[in-house]
């Protein structure tokens, strides 16, 4: 786990150099300071005529490298761009533009802005239209300007309302602001912890938001028996979760320990060390967190050696396959050798699993390894020699067109994709099942795709960067990290093997409408796709969150984005429609939201995304 980046929020800064030196002495990495003295007010024409001094301090006080790496600017707290008083509104707008212009001039890494004051919980959210408009203009005019909006987890009025029902209104105000700013990626959250925290589900929701900084007031720290500052158990849990999202931290307020701020920084670092280390076999996947990948086209393209190598490192998948093959061998009649075909053998991991299973089950085995990739065939043939696979026959060819008089007792494949059927396992196995003897066993025997609605500003904005509507009609393989799952995943499309129907009557088209119930309000950015597969009897593999095979990393979920984010409120029903469509040359998915609002049908006729047969 990387070292924490921790800064200090200063309110009044008599001398910038002294403040920066003091922060460094206390081991802070940066400071957040007002761009303009908090007591300075401006009229509609700029600085008040009674003030002859400059607007603020000179940029010559610090070298440019310090401005760009060690200083976060804070907008004036008195700004009210939606004030009913025209004079206040115009003065606020004038100051707002000048301060952001100054921040851009200095090259500051970010600017800390305030969210409007929350009224009494029984009242409506405050109007922020003018504020959002000015913010949007600035974000568009300067795309590299990063604005962090300070969002307290709970407002003062919420803290005073002991019997307040429902959820915190802070998120709703943030969501309204970013929606009016068109979900721009340079608008982020500086989440300020409060003494009381909202519900666990509301805390989980922040996982789907672009949190860049977490502000921790020193006043919310408790004092342990040894006199050192600590956080409550609930705060600790939340902070440790946020650390995993590589956010920056800021302390706010005076130090309440005789040793100054050092005990606070040491305590936060202690929380970092309490986070369990990532298992060695899973570390390779860290760079793939929230990294969008177009799914494989296994029938059209041949996999590369590196891809095979990655899949073969999975410690769970092949163990489960071995257990499934062993169980199947023990269920077959004991007389004579068993014929097993691995269709889509790759570089041979399933062949090895089958050979190990035969030793454990003490059954003689004849193996046919069928693979279309000529490069993988080279590896297979070399392995037959080097590992003395005397009972293995390597076949180069497509399983759908290979012709043989041999018939298998067991047919084994690993053609599953992130969504189960999205790498065309049904079409491949329907073509290969003619190799099975009557009553033969298919491993896997069935698999079901699953869907769940998700909120992820990060993933949605990463699709938006392409500036192409077709990209919003494409499904992506992604190791989801910065996201919130709005509701539990539900079963979608199911396939079983062998299929009892004649090949010419098998129809692998599917359509399903699913309903999801929201627990709290959220922004719907799309759907996560998973799968659960039964290899044999009770032996399964799954990437569905509620049945996930711990330690397995061969598959990341599939992300189906929505072209336009959608607000869903607490207790709303999200109704979605999903189609699996096919033609003689390709298979594709189409998706749409029906409730609470209607969207377009994404990827009609597969014109943006499809899998080639």
Same domain as 341, residue 206: no
Q: State yes or no: is 158 an active-site residue.
A: no
Contact status, residue 565 vs residue 523, Cβ threshold 8 Å: yes
Is residue 118 within 8 A of residue 125, CB to CB? The reply is yes
Residue indicated by tokens 């020193």: 218
Instruction: Single out the residue in 281, 316, 337 at which a domain terminates.
Output: 281
Whether residue 532 sits in one domain with residue 456: yes
Residues 341 and 254 in one domain: no
Q: Helix 170-180 vs helix 129-141: angle between axes, to the nearest 10 degrees?
A: 50
- Give the pair of three-digit tokens for residue 432: 């290969």
179 φ, ψ (degrees, to nearest 5): -65, -40
Active site residue 423: yes
Q: Which pLDDT band holds residue 282 (cuts at 50, 70, 90)?
A: confident
Taking CA atoms, 177 is separated from 92, 272, 305, in Å, by 17, 32, 47
Q: What DSSP state is assigned to residue 145?
A: -
CATH number at 604 reads 2.70.160.11
Q: At 37, is the pLDDT very low, low, confident or very high (cuts 50, 70, 90)?
A: confident
Note the pLDDT of residue 157: 53
Please report, for residues 5, 188, 221, the alpha-carbon distance to residue 251 in angstroms, rounded to integers and kept in the order given.
11, 18, 11
Are 431 and 459 contained in the same domain? no
* Cα–Cα distance for residue pair 232/477, rounded to 1 Å: 38
Q: What is the pLDDT of residue 42?
A: 58
Largest CA distance in the chain: 104
Phi, psi at 240, each rounded to 5°? -65, -35
Q: What is the pLDDT of residue 160?
A: 45
The number of beta carbons lying within 10 Å of the beta carbon of residue 389 is 19
d(CA 97, CA 485): 37
Quick one: tokens of 458? 């990060």
Distance from the first to the final alpha carbon of the chain: 43
Query: Looking at residue 320, which CATH number applies to its domain?
Result: 3.40.50.150
Is residue 431's pLDDT more than 60?
yes
Distance separating alpha carbons of residues 403 and 244, to the nearest angstrom: 52
450-477 mean pLDDT: 97
Peptide bond into 74 cis (omega under 30): no
pLDDT at 163: 37
| Phi, psi dihedral angles at 496 (to 5 degrees) | -125, 150
Tell me the C-alpha distance between 179 and 321, whole Å.
Answer: 47
- Report which of 460, 610, 594 is spatially closest to residue 526, judged by C-alpha positions: 460
The number of CA neighbours under 13 Å toward the Cβ of 85 is 8
Q: Are 135 and 36 in a shared domain?
A: yes
- For residue 120, is pLDDT > 50? no
Residue of 414, 427, 473, 590 marked active site: 414
Q: Which residues pair with 39 in a beta bridge?
A: none
The band of 491, judged by pLDDT with boundaries at 50, 70 and 90, is very high
> In a 3-state reduction of DSSP, which class is residue 176?
helix
The model carries a pTM of 0.93
Confidence at residue 385, expressed as pLDDT on a 0 to 100 scale? 96
Share of the chain above pLDDT 90, in %: 79
Q: Check whether residue 142 and residue 175 sit in a common domain.
A: yes
pLDDT at 126: 78
Do 236 and 326 fall within a single domain? no
Question: What pLDDT does residue 192 have?
Answer: 97
Neighbours of 466 (CB within 10 A): 12
State the pLDDT at residue 166.
55
Q: What is the pLDDT of residue 49?
A: 45
**Cβ–Cβ < 8 Å for 326, 360:** yes
- When pLDDT is averaged across residues 24-53 and rounded to a whole number, the result is 73
What pairing do the DSSP bridges indicate for beta strands 222-223 and 211-217?
unpaired
Rounded CA-CA distance 528/480 in Å is 9
Q: Is the pLDDT of residue 156 over 50?
A: yes
Q: Are 191 and 213 in contact (CB under 8 A)?
A: yes
Sorting pLDDT into bands at 50, 70 and 90, what band is 13? Answer: confident
Cα separation, 608 vs 417, in Å, equals 19
3-state helix, strand and coil shares in percent for the chain, rounded to the nearest 5? 30, 25, 40
Indicate whether 300 belongs to any domain. Answer: no
Q: Are 19 and 13 in contact (CB under 8 A)?
A: yes
Residue 60: C-alpha distances to residues 17, 63, 177 (Å): 11, 7, 35
Specify if 33 maps to a domain. yes
The pLDDT of residue 315 is 83
What CA–CA distances, in Å, run from 596 to 183, 488, 516, 529, 567? 20, 18, 11, 21, 9
Beta bridge partners of 43: 46
Residue 249 covered by a domain: yes
Bond preceding residue 32 cis, omega within 30 of 0: no
Q: Which of 202, 423, 473, 590 is catalytic?
A: 423
Q: What is the pLDDT of residue 441?
A: 97
- Tokens found for residue 487: 């509701």
Query: Which tokens is 40 given?
Result: 């300075």
Residue 278, pLDDT score: 80
pLDDT at 118 > cutoff 80: no
Residue 313 and residue 252 share a domain: no
Q: Per the domain annotation, does 66 fall within a domain? A: yes
Q: Is the pLDDT of residue 39 over 60?
A: yes
Q: Do 269 and 391 fall within a single domain? A: no
Joined tokens for residue 77: 């707290």
Torsion of CA 142, 143, 145, 149, to 10 degrees: 110
d(CA 6, CA 26) in angstroms, rounded, equals: 11
Q: How many residues does the chain have?
A: 613
195 CB contacts (<8 Å, ≥6 apart)? 159, 219, 220
Which residues face 574 on adjacent strands? 516
φ, ψ of residue 287 to 5 degrees: the values are -60, -15
CATH number of the domain enclosing 256: 3.20.20.150
Calpha distance 76→112 (Å, rounded): 10
As a whole number, mean pLDDT of residues 214-229 equals: 96
How confident is the model at residue 284, as a pLDDT? Answer: 78
Let me know whether 317 and 427 are in one domain: yes
List, in sequence order, the alpha helices (H) in 161-232: 170-180, 200-205
Is the domain of 26 the same as that of 147?
Answer: yes
**540 domain residue, yes or no:** yes
Query: Percent of the chain, pLDDT > 70?
Result: 93
Q: Are strands 187-192 and 586-595 parallel, antiparallel or unpaired?
A: unpaired
Q: How far apart are CA 89 and CA 115, in angstroms?
A: 16
- Structural domain tally of the chain? 3
> pLDDT tens digits, residue range 293-351?
988 787 888 889 998 998 898 889 999 999 999 999 999 998 889 999 999 999 999 99
- 168 and 132 in a single domain? The answer is yes
Is 121's pLDDT higher than 80? no
Q: What is the residue-averaged pLDDT of the chain?
A: 92
Last residue of a domain, one of 281, 314, 338: 281
Dig out the tokens for 233 from the structure. Answer: 């158990």
287 within domain boundaries? no
Q: Beta strand pairing status for 573-582 and 338-343? A: unpaired
Cis before 498 (ω within 30): yes
In the listed set 225, 246, 281, which residue is the last one of a domain according to the structure?
A: 281
Residue 33: predicted pLDDT: 96
Residues 246 and 1 sit within 8 Å (Cβ to Cβ): no
**Which tokens belong to 438?**
């009557």
Tokens for 421, please give them: 């059927």
Structural domain boundaries, residue 321: 305-443
């Amino acid at each position: 786990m990387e070292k924490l980046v921790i800064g200090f929020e200063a309110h009044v800064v008599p001398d910038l150099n002294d403040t920066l030196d003091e922060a460094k002495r206390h081991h802070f990495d940066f400071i957040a300071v007002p761009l303009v003295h908090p007591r300075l007010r401006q009229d509609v024409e700029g600085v008040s005529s009674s003030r002859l001094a400059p607007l603020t301090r000179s940029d010559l006080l610090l070298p440019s490298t310090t401005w760009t790496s060690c200083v976060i600017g804070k907008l004036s707290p008195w700004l009210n761009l939606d004030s009913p008083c025209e004079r206040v509104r115009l003065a606020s707008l004038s100051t707002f533009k000048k301060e952001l212009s100054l921040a851009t001039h200095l090259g500051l890494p970010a600017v800390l802005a305030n969210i409007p004051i929350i009224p009494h919980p029984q009242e409506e959210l405050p109007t922020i239209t003018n504020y959002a408009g000015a913010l949007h203009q600035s974000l568009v005019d300067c795309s590299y300007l990063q604005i962090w909006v300070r969002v307290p987890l709970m407002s003062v009025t919420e803290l005073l309302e002991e019997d307040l029902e429902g959820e915190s209104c802070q998120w709703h105000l943030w969501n309204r602001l970013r929606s009016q700013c068109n979900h721009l990626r340079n608008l982020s959250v500086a989440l300020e912890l409060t003494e009381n925290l909202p519900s666990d589900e509301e805390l989980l929701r922040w996982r789907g938001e672009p949190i860049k900084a977490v502000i921790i007031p020193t006043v919310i720290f408790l004092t342990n028996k040894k006199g050192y500052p600590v956080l409550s158990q609930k705060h600790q849990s939340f902070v440790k979760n946020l650390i995993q999202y590589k956010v920056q931290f800021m302390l706010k307020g005076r130090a309440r320990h005789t040793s100054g701020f050092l005990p606070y920084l040491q305590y936060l670092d202690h929380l970092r060390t309490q986070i369990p280390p990532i298992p060695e076999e899973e570390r390779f996947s860290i760079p793939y967190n929230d990294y969008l990948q177009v799914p494989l086209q296994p029938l059209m393209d041949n996999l590369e050696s590196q891809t095979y190598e990655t899949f073969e490192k999975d410690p769970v998948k092949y163990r489960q396959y071995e257990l499934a093959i062993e169980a199947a061998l023990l269920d077959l009649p004991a007389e004579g050798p068993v014929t097993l075909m691995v269709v889509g053998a790759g570089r041979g991991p399933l062949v090895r699993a089958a050979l190990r299973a035969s030793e454990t089950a003490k059954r003689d085995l004849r193996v046919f390894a069928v693979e279309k990739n000529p490069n993988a065939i080279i590896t297979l043939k070399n392995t037959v020699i080097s590992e003395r696979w005397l009972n293995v026959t390597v076949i180069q060819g497509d399983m759908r067109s290979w012709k043989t008089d041999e018939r298998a007792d067991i047919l084994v494949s690993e053609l599953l994709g992130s969504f189960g059927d999205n790498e065309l396992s049904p079409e491949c196995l329907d073509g290969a099942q003619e190799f099975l003897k009557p009553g033969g066993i298919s491993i896997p025997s069935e698999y079901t795709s699953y869907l769940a609605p998700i909120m992820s500003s990060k993933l949605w904005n990463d699709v938006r960067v392409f500036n192409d509507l077709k990209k919003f009609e494409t499904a992506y393989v992604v190791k989801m990290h910065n996201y919130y799952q709005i509701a539990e995943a539900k079963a979608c499309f199911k396939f079983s093997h062998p299929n009892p129907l004649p090949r010419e009557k098998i129809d692998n088209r599917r359509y399903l409408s699913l309903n999801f119930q929201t627990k709290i309000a959220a922004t719907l950015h799309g759907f996560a796709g998973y799968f659960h597969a039964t290899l044999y009897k009770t032996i399964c593999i799954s990437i569905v969150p509620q049945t996930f095979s711990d330690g397995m990393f061969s598959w990341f979920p599939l992300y189906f984005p929505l072209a336009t984010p959608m607000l869903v409120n607490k207790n709303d029903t999200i109704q979605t429609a999903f189609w699996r469509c096919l033609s003689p040359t390709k298979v594709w998915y189409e998706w749409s939201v029906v409730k609470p609002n209607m969207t377009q049908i994404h990827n009609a006729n597969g014109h943006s995304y499809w899998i080639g047969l």
